[in-house]
Chains A and B, each alone.
Chain A
Amino acid sequence: MQPMKGNPAVGAEGCSVPGAERARGVLVWGMMAFPGLLGLMALLFFRYQVLNAKELQAKCSDQMVRWANVEPERGTLTATGGENLCYNRPVYRFVLDLKAVRYPRESLAATVDRVTERLALFRSIFPPGAVSFSLSERQIAERIRQEGALDFVLGDDWDVPPALVARFAPFRDQFPEIRLEPAYRRVCAASSALANTLGRVASDGPTRRPEGDLDYLRPETRGVSGLEQVLDRYLRGQSGYEEIEVDALGYHRVSAVATEPALAGRSLRLTFDVPVQEAAERLLLGEDAGAFIVVELPGMEVRAMGGAPQAAYAPTPTEYAEMAAGTARGSVQDLARFWRTPPGSTFKMITFTAALMSGRLSPDATFTCTGHEMVNGVSRPCNKAHGCITIPEALAKSCNVATYEAAKLAGAENIVFWAHQFGFEEALPSQRTGLVLARSRLHTAKRWTNTDIWNLCLGQGETEASVTTLAMYVVALVTGELVQPAYVEEGSLPPGDRYGREARVVRRIALRPEVREVLLTGMLGCTQYGTGRSAACGGIPILAKTGTAQTGPKDEHRKNALMVALVPAQSPKYCIVCAIKDSTGGGGGTIGPRLRDLIQELVGLGRLSSMVAAGGE
């Protein structure tokens, strides 16, 4: 420091000599103090950058051994003919991996705040619109906070195109928090209705669970629903893990401390018959909304199943929201498994079974149908005045009056009992159970009124069933065994499994032979002279029953058409159940011709031999 020289005290303009001297004294101290303070700070820099550098980094590295999941290869679903129904296509997806950049003891919110800032930078490396992120950075941050997940899949589409993978490759080291994760995309090669049943794939679904949507996908099974979700425990295999040591800042993998390999999932062969499935979709549903099931006896293997053909099976979140709001054209639900409709006249066989098995009605009893019946002072119509009519005729012609008379003989509780016996309200895996009006749900003092009995015996009102429930019931009527449908081929699952054949027989139903004969005669007459005449095809005997379910308010006159059928009648091989939602006609008029076409198609496909179809056996 140079001493202040010069001669300033010369009375220069604007300079007070004593003030200048005094100021110089102060400034000299300032000139010494500031560099001195900076020198002290330089020592602190030395401490942090040299002396304590390793210790500081060690503070960060003490928890830098982290786990990483090793995803197993997922099993595939194939049809009986070996066709791929659901399989894995290796794809990449961008995953925001917060674990990779999370500091020890750092709160999730802080990590999210820090990382989401960089998402805009991440997007900027791609051409505009190349990566479909429907969520903004803020929305992503909110979702991560809500879900508390450390892994967040970026983008609506799992499938990152190879061009984007190549574009991202040079930047991988720059984005440790974004992982280009090899994953498997479930590709459902089946037709749309079956895909809807097997499971919608490639969709994350909505953020929140919509009210009443039972098909909502839980986070752990995103992209997997339907039967695939039911069978997920076989398909998904077992995850492995790696214990990874990373560097002090958590950026780079140093070594793998321990490794547990993943076990691949089991590939399953389903019972679906793809040609039958395609034919059933095309012929039974067409453009209508509804559901169908085709099962093969006696094993009750489901050969075809589907529903809601107009619904996209892989909806985007927007479509999903539209569906949940009811504004979409299609249904968000898989109608084959989750749609329940009143069974209508297909329920009448249970009513007659109850009456016949109770002994209060003999098989050769006759009824007189005048075309209407006074029930609690209200005239209830039949479809026509049948006159004197036997039980098989009543079944074939679907006479309401005769059924009501039989119901009054049987008693409501008896009908409910037999409905339970035939599988209504039987819990089915991955399916919605049926429902029978019960005393506990009666509206008037828990007592059965004639109106209740009228509704119950005709399968209207609160009694509901899915097509699967109806199929089980009809098959049980013929075979005497209530069997759960099988979706997986025998031998494809481990023995003793829930879906194995041992566990699928729910109960045996002992019907007296004369009762079964009466019922089957009635069902046979349905396609010969009854309401299902339109289903008759070339002399192929069919056991069938039509039904029309009244739904909605009376003034709207909405109805669902139903039909159950067993072909061939002598030795039933296929049980076909179809329900059309909001049909313009009844079950016979709407579904009958379609059923006929399907049976002919089955013959054409060789699933029904001409001899069998012709009744040769």
Chain B
Amino acid sequence: MLGLIVQDAERRHRHLWILLVALLLAGIGLLFVRSTCYVAEGFPLDPAWRRQAQWGLLGLLLCVVFAMNDFRRLGGLVWVGYLASVLLLAVTLLAGVKSNGAYRWLKLPGLPSFQAAAPARLFTLLAYAAWLSRPPVRLQGRLAGLVGAALVLVPATLIAVEPSMGNALTLVCACSLVWFVARGNAAWARRLALTALLAAAVAMPALGWVRQQNWEPAKIRAALSWWPYKHHVNRVVWFCHPTGHPSNERQIMYCLASGGWFGKGLFRGIIQKRGFLPRAVAGSDFILATIGEEAGLLGCITVLMLCAVLVVLCLRVAAETTDDWGRLICTGVAALFAVQVLISVGMVLRLCPIIGLTIPLLGRAGTLMTTAFVGLGLVASVQRHTVPGTGAPQVLCHVSPPPTIMYRENRDTVVIDLLPWGPIKLFLRLRWERAAETLEELVAMSTAKPKPAKPKRPRKPKQYHQDTRELPGFRDALEFGRRCLRRHKKD
């Protein structure tokens, strides 16, 4: 019963659920980002958490704006945004602010510095989804595929040479999944899932074997000497030698290990506060390690659950939307979020080398947070404008004294609420593909004897309302409703 209630609420207000979960994640993130900015009473608080909050508020505002408006209005603006973001990436490479050896930050006059890769990822996804759903240029066959691939690979390459491998990787993975949803089928997905499981089954022992070999760092460096970015090589070395090197992986392990079940308490994570886990990354890339130390296993699992819920909600919108572009947008946003979460959590769990990604909405990354909110706003817009049954139920009739309310959940489904008051409600969800105005009409329609066919007046076909045959199970449900009514009258 509770499941039905939740399901009903989730179905009708999914966009609000998405917003709620996103706000929860962002709130938790802000709390722990503030914790990383806090050392002790009397210390000056690092203002980074304030910037994070400002970016979050901006993102929330944009999220609401995008959610309120039909995403289909974007239209050609997507391509403008795509070209602008590619241009920004190029500008970043030429005139970006160098930080830690990478040109990731762009400082434009009058604006706070931001990462151009974050909006570029979103616009690339939108453009790619638009290309897959309704290509503006009629191309066929491989040429279309090549153009689609170029749409992704151009910004991905620009991001990769910043270098920001994590962002490039998530973009390519997310676009691949979007393509998979657009072109693939369930059998492919099944095979992919099985292959991924098999790969994971092979990769895990292989990972352990690699670490047990205890290869000399010099040999690893020599083997990877062709790679242009030395800090990537160092990360691979540290990944292979997490116990022999005082790298961040080691501090992460101590963070998690010292957290235990419930953690040390908020603002009490000494490992990051004392600089063992550098403060520069404790709130961003390793926010989960900070949560693990201060909130323990409980905090980590809460965050993982919220991430899972958010992705599933987005995918449900994708599954139920009636718009191809909307579906791919939702898939892309969910995939971007999911891939980033998987990599970031994998980093913390030493399943992959440190890549430099944070969990969206959670970790300290202002531009990323804003664009994540924008993406979720688009998903909410898809839900509100293209998913049937969204919004508050429409009351069709009140039958009194029997406390039965009949809702029109959407154009296809009618809900008969048999016990509208009280803590528990009983819903009878009926699939109804014909519009019915009242309960009496509904009952009459179901009990009326079939009349001889009359020549019907040709009706203007409705786009969404079509008379179709009665669905199986409808009569049983209606009988059940009638019995309830009779019992109620007797009482």
Q: Does A368 contact B (CB under 8 A)?
A: no
In the complex, which residues 168-205 of chain B have their Cβ closer than 8 Å to any Cβ of chain A? 177, 180-182, 184-190, 192-193, 196
Min CB distance, A131 to chain B, in Å? 15
Most B-side CB within 10 Å, residue of A11, A24, A34, A59: A34
Are the CB atoms of A13 and B42 closer together than 8 Å? no
Say whether A8 faces chain B, with CB atoms less than 8 Å apart: yes
Is the pair A103, B186 in contact by a Cβ cutoff of 8 Å? no
Contacting pair A52 B257 (CB below 8 A) = yes
Given the contacts A14-B134, A114-B276, A105 and B189 also touching, CB distance less than 8 Å: no
Asked if A110 and B246 make an inter-chain contact with CB atoms under 8 angstroms apart, the answer reads yes
Looking at the complex, which of B310-318, B360-368, B392-400, B451-459 is the stretch in contact with chain A? B310-318
Q: Give the distance in Å from the alpha carbon of A481 to the alpha carbon of B120 in the complex.
A: 93
Closest to A117 in B: B275
Task: Say yes or no: A28 contacts B39, CB within 8 Å.
Answer: no
A154-192 CB contact bits vs B (8 Å, 1 = yes)?
000000000000000011001111000000000000000
Interface residues of B in 308-347 (CB under 8 A from A): 308, 311-312, 315-316, 318-327, 331, 334-335, 338, 341-342, 345-346
Q: Is the interface of A mostly helix, strand, loop or mixed?
A: helix
The answer to whether A35 touches B292, judged by C-beta atoms less than 8 angstroms apart, is no
Kindly report which residue of chain B lies nearest to residue A26, judged by CB atoms.
B189
In the assembled complex, the Cα of A29 lies from the Cα of B188 at a distance in Å of 10
Chain A count of residues within 8 A CB distance of the other chain: 68
Q: How far is B260's CA from A49's CA once the two chains are assembled, in angstroms?
A: 5
Task: Check A20–B322 contact: CB distance below 8 A.
Answer: yes
Asked if A513 is at the interface of the complex by the 8 Å CB criterion, the answer is no
Contact residue among A6, A23, A46 (Cβ-Cβ distance under 8 Å from B297):
A46
Contact B312 A171 (CB under 8 A): no
Q: Which residue on chain B has the smallest CB distance to residue A55?
A: B257
Chain B residue numbers with a CB within 8 Å of A31 are 311-312, 315-316, 319
Cβ of A16 within 8 Å of any chain B Cβ, yes or no, is yes
| Contact residues, B260-286 vs A (CB, 8 A) | 260-261, 270-271, 273-276, 278-280
The reply to whether A48 and B253 contact each other, CB–CB distance below 8 Å, is: yes
Contacts A26-B186, A34-B308, A50-B260 known; A251 to B270 CB distance under 8 Å? yes
* Known A2-B7, A20-B324, A48-B257; contact A114-B338, beta-carbon cutoff 8 A: no
Min distance, Cβ A132 to any Cβ of chain B, angstroms: 20
Looking at A13, A27, A48, A251, the one whose CB has the most chain B CB atoms below 10 A away is: A27
B interface: dominant SS:
helix
Which chain B residues border A19 with CB–CB below 8 Å?
Answer: 182, 324
A5 contacts B by Cβ under 8 Å: yes
> Are B134 and A8 within 8 A (Cβ)?
no
A118 to B342, CA, bound (A): 31
Size band of the interface chain B makes with A:
35 or more
How long is the Cα–Cα vector from A119 to B191 in the complex, in angstroms? 54
Query: In the complex, which residues of chain A have a beta carbon less than 8 angstroms from the beta carbon of B301?
Result: 42, 45
Instruction: Give the residue name and chain of the A residue nearest to B322 (CB).
Output: A12
How long is the Cα–Cα vector from A111 to B318 in the complex, in angstroms?
49
Which residues does chain A contribute within 8 Å of B184, judged by CB atoms?
A: 22, 26
A44 at the interface (CB under 8 A from B): yes
Which of A10, A24, A56, A118 interacts with B253 by CB under 8 Å? A56
B41 to chain A: which residues have CB within 8 Å? 170
Taken residue by residue from 55 to 81, chain A's Cβ proximity to chain B (1 for < 8 Å, 0 otherwise) reads as 011011000000000000000000000
Closest to A110 in B: B246
A10-B464 in contact given A38-B345, A49-B261, A174-B274 (Cβ < 8 Å): yes
A505 CB–B CB distance under 8 Å: no
When distances are taken between beta carbons in the complex, the residues of chain B under 8 Å from A364 are none
Q: Does B254 touch A at the CB level, under 8 Å?
A: yes
CA distance A7 to B411 in the complex (A): 10
List residues of chain B with CB within 8 A of the CB of A48.
253, 256-257, 292, 349
CB distance from A123 to the nearest CB of B (A): 11
Min CB–CB distance A44 → chain B (angstroms): 5
Known contacts A15-B322, A45-B300, A49-B300: A27-B331 contact under CB 8 Å: yes
Complex-state Cα separation, A53 to B262, whole angstroms:
13
Is B246 touching A23 in the complex (CB atoms < 8 A)?
no
Q: Is A125 an interface residue (CB 8 A)?
A: yes
A544 to B10, CA, bound (A): 112
Give Cα A60 to B388, complex, Å.
57
Interchain CB contact under 8 A, B431 and A28: no
Interface membership of chain B positions 430-467, coded 1 if the CB is closer than 8 angstroms to chain A and 0 otherwise: 01010000000000000000000000000000011010
A23's nearest neighbour on chain B, judged by CB, is B181
Q: How far is the CA of A174 from the CA of B243 in the complex (A)?
A: 26
B44 within 8 A of A: yes
Question: B261 to chain A: which residues have CB within 8 Å?
Answer: 49-50
Contact A114 B327 (CB under 8 A): no
Report if B304 contacts A (CB, 8 A): yes
Across the interface, do A12 and B181 meet the contact criterion of CB distance under 8 Å? no
Q: How far is the CA of A115 from the CA of B275 in the complex (A)?
A: 7
Does A135 count as interface, using CB distance less than 8 angstroms?
Answer: no
Chain A residues within 8 Å of B244, by CB: 105
**A37 at interface, CB cutoff 8 A:** yes
User: Is the CB of B84 closer than 8 A to any CB of chain A?
Assistant: no
CB distance from B136 to the nearest CB of A (A): 14
Question: Once the chains bind, are B327 and A20 in contact (CB under 8 Å)?
Answer: yes
Q: Is the CB of B250 within 8 A of A103?
A: yes
Residues of A within 8 A of B42 (CB): 125, 170-171
User: Which residues of chain B are within 8 angstroms of A37 by Cβ–Cβ distance?
Assistant: 342
Extra contacts, 14 of them, besides A14-B386, A103-B246, A249-B258 (Cβ < 8 A), are A4-B320, A14-B72, A15-B323, A20-B322, A27-B331, A30-B335, A33-B196, A41-B304, A41-B351, A45-B256, A49-B261, A124-B43, A174-B40, A177-B274
List, sorted by A's number, 9 A–B pairs whose CB atoms are closer than 8 Å. Answer: A12-B322, A15-B322, A29-B186, A41-B351, A42-B301, A45-B300, A50-B261, A114-B276, A171-B43
Closest 5 pairs between A and B when the two form their complex, measured CB to CB: A25-B186, A56-B257, A12-B322, A29-B189, A106-B246
